[in-house]
């Protein structure tokens, strides 16, 4: 959510943000409603003041004056009730539109309508080449009895899976590698709930626009598709000491996504599943653009280092306007090389939001001048499993069907080779 004062003063900027993000949002409609809201609010406050004045005068009034005042109070009460009902309706519509105002993207964000228009920033490593026909991760896992997709579907339905044997061990080895890497870099470890209240989803910007992709309980709570939601809600409605900023978290939770709109995409294997596990970076810092940019580069670099330790080729892309979420100022995707598809596939997304999320969540700090301000927020996928297994299994496959264990994981796996 943006400050309404900022929106009033920068309507053209909001209009341009909606254009660049390819969002259907009419800032003029919001401003008209805002003006009507302010007018009604002023009228209601004026009538309340008059009501208070009359109430103070009544006890000392004579009989004739008292009758006049009571009659005027009755008329005033009816008019005030009517305007209060109007104000309630207008405020509800105003709040709905306020939740749809797009954050202003950074000037460096490329133009474009979809991920096809994202621009490559840098590459690391050379795409893996084989002197044999490489198998997909599905073929590799089935041949080595590392996964059971049929029984996974029987248990959990479409996109269900069961990791087995060395695949499960590889999954946990990746978790341990991530934990050690981020603890060395000064991040605080959190394990957070995946069952989260609606307020947290509204605060992080996943609602109301993304409701179709969320699992909802009968009690009105939701299952999160990222640990970011619960981590951001951790400090909801709190004032943080400025000397404690930045707050840097490596946070973990089970995650759930309906994958609405992905019918026919990645229907086999581990790339797109309904239940998975994520390690997420979350940073809360002082309200300064340069500081946000600095930490955006940091969280991207730290996730790149995971692939570098595992020697997985990847590239980083700057997401275009049409591939940004409502609240994102800028986003990088890290995409790892997948040999069977002869392309890069997304494994990480690093974003910064300025105070878009923290204004909704009411997370503030008092700066050195004593002024109350909203902190800035950033987040990035450190590791999403089992998706992260896909490039590892495929890039380390051998001609005989076995799979080498990356050197960085051998200490956790206790072996160098995965065989049948």
pLDDT of residue 60: 81
Residues 115-418, CATH architecture: 2-Layer Sandwich (3.30)
Residue 317 confidence (pLDDT) above 90: yes
Catalytic residue among 66, 198, 258, 272: 272
pLDDT of residue 261: 67
Please state the rounded mean pLDDT for residues 203-221: 92
Q: Write the pLDDT tens digit of every residue in 58-91.
A: 788 787 887 887 888 888 888 889 999 999 999 9
Place of tokens 């002197």: 131
pLDDT of residue 59: 83
pLDDT of residue 262: 67
Which of 147, 119, 121 is CA-nearest to residue 385?
147
Looking only at the bridges linking them, the beta strands covering 330-338 and 314-318 are antiparallel
The question of whether 48 is a catalytic residue gets the answer no
pLDDT of residue 259: 85
pLDDT of residue 263: 67
Catalytic residue among 257, 359, 360, 364: 257
Please state the rounded mean pLDDT for residues 382-393: 97
Residue 367 confidence (pLDDT) above 70: yes
Q: For the range 219-224, what are the long-range contacts, defined as Cβ-Cβ under 8 Å and sequence gap of 24 or more?
A: 221/195, 221/196, 221/197, 222/195, 222/196, 222/197, 222/198, 223/194, 223/195, 223/196, 223/255, 223/256, 224/193, 224/194, 224/195, 224/196, 224/200, 224/253, 224/255, 224/256
| pTM, rounded to two decimals | 0.92
Q: Write the pLDDT tens digit of every residue in 119-141.
A: 999 999 999 999 999 999 999 99
Please state the rounded mean pLDDT for residues 250-278: 88
Place of tokens 């956790």: 412
Place of tokens 């009571």: 70
* Least confident interval from 45-54, 63-72, 83-92, 354-363: 63-72
Please state the rounded mean pLDDT for residues 415-420: 96
The question of whether 346 is a catalytic residue gets the answer yes
Structure tokens at 356: 């878009």
Higher pLDDT among residues 60 and 256, named by residue: 256
Residue 250 confidence (pLDDT) above 90: yes
Residue 388 confidence (pLDDT) above 80: yes
pLDDT of residue 266: 75
Q: How far is CA 375 from CA 262, 365, 367, 371, in A?
A: 34, 6, 10, 12
Residues with Cβ < 8 Å from 330, sequence gap 6 or more?
Answer: 105, 106, 108, 109, 296, 318, 319, 324, 351, 352
Q: Write the pLDDT tens digit of every residue in 148-190.
A: 999 999 999 999 999 999 999 999 999 999 999 999 999 999 9
Please state the rounded mean pLDDT for residues 196-215: 93
Q: How far is CA 297 from CA 64, 204, 247, 305, 306, in A?
A: 75, 21, 16, 12, 15
Which helix (H) or strand (E) element contains residue 121? strand 119-124
Structure tokens at 148: 């059971």
Structure tokens at 240: 């943080």
Please state the rounded mean pLDDT for residues 379-402: 97
Which of 413, 352, 345 is CA-nearest to residue 377?
352
The question of whether 257 is a catalytic residue gets the answer yes
Higher pLDDT among residues 211 and 375, named by residue: 375
Residues 4-98, CATH architecture: Orthogonal Bundle (1.10)
Catalytic residue among 253, 340, 349, 351: 349
> Helix (H, G, I), strand (E, B), or coil: what is residue 263?
coil
The question of whether 359 is a catalytic residue gets the answer no
Q: Write the pLDDT tens digit of every residue in 103-113.
A: 999 999 999 99
* Separation CA 354–CA 369 (nearest Å): 20
Higher pLDDT among residues 59 and 256, named by residue: 256
pLDDT of residue 1: 86
pLDDT of residue 208: 87
Tell me the percentage of the chain whose pLDDT exceeds 90.
87
Domain boundaries, the chain: 4-98, 115-418
Q: State the average pLDDT for the chain.
A: 95
Looking only at the bridges linking them, the beta strands covering 275-285 and 376-385 are antiparallel
Catalytic residue among 211, 286, 346, 402: 346
């Amino acid at each position: 959510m943006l400050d309404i004062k900022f929106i009033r003063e920068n309507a053209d900027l909001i209009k341009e943000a909606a254009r660049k993000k390819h969002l259907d949002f009419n800032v003029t409609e919001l401003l008209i409603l805002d003006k009507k809201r302010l007018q009604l609010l002023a009228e209601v406050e004026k009538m309340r003041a008059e009501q208070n004045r009359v109430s103070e005068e009544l006890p000392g009034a004579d009989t004739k004056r008292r009758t006049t005042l009571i009659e005027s109070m009755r008329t005033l009460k009816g008019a005030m009730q009517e305007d209060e009902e109007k104000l309630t309706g207008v405020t509800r519509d105003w709040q709905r539109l306020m939740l749809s105002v797009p954050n202003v993207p950074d000037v460096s964000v490329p133009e474009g309508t979809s991920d096809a228009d994202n621009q490559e920033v840098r590459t690391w490593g050379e795409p893996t080449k084989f002197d044999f026909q490489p198998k997909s991760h599905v073929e590799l896992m089935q041949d080595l009895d590392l996964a059971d997709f049929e029984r996974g579907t029987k248990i959990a339905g479409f996109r269900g899976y069961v990791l087995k044997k060395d695949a499960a061990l590889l999954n946990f080895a990746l978790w341990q590698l991530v934990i050690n890497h981020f603890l060395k870099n000064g991040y605080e470890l959190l394990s957070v709930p995946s069952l989260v209240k609606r307020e947290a989803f509204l605060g992080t910007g996943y609602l109301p626009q993304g409701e179709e992709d969320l699992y909802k309980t009968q009690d009105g709570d939701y299952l999160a598709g990222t640990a970011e939601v619960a981590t951001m809600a951790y400090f909801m409605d709190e004032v943080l000491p400025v000397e404690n900023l930045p707050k840097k978290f490596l946070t973990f939770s089970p995650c759930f996504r309906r994958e609405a709109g992905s019918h026919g995409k990645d229907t086999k294997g581990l790339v797109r599943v309904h239940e998975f596990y994520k390690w997420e970076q979350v940073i809360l810092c002082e309200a300064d653009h340069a500081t946000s940019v600095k930490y955006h580069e940091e969280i991207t670099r730290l996730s790149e280092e995971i692939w570098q330790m595992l020697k997985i080729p990847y590239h980083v892309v700057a997401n275009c306007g049409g591939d940004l979420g409502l609240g994102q100022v800028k986003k990088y995707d890290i995409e790892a090389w997948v040999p069977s598809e002869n392309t890069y596939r997304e494994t990480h997304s690093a974003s910064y939001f300025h105070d878009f999320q923290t204004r909704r969540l009411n997370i503030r700090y008092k700066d050195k001048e004593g002024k109350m301000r909203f902190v800035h927020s950033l987040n990035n996928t450190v590791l999403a499993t089992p998706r992260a297994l896909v490039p590892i299994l495929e890039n380390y496959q051998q001609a005989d069907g076995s799979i080498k264990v990356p050197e960085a994981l051998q200490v956790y796996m206790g072996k160098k080779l995965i065989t049948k």
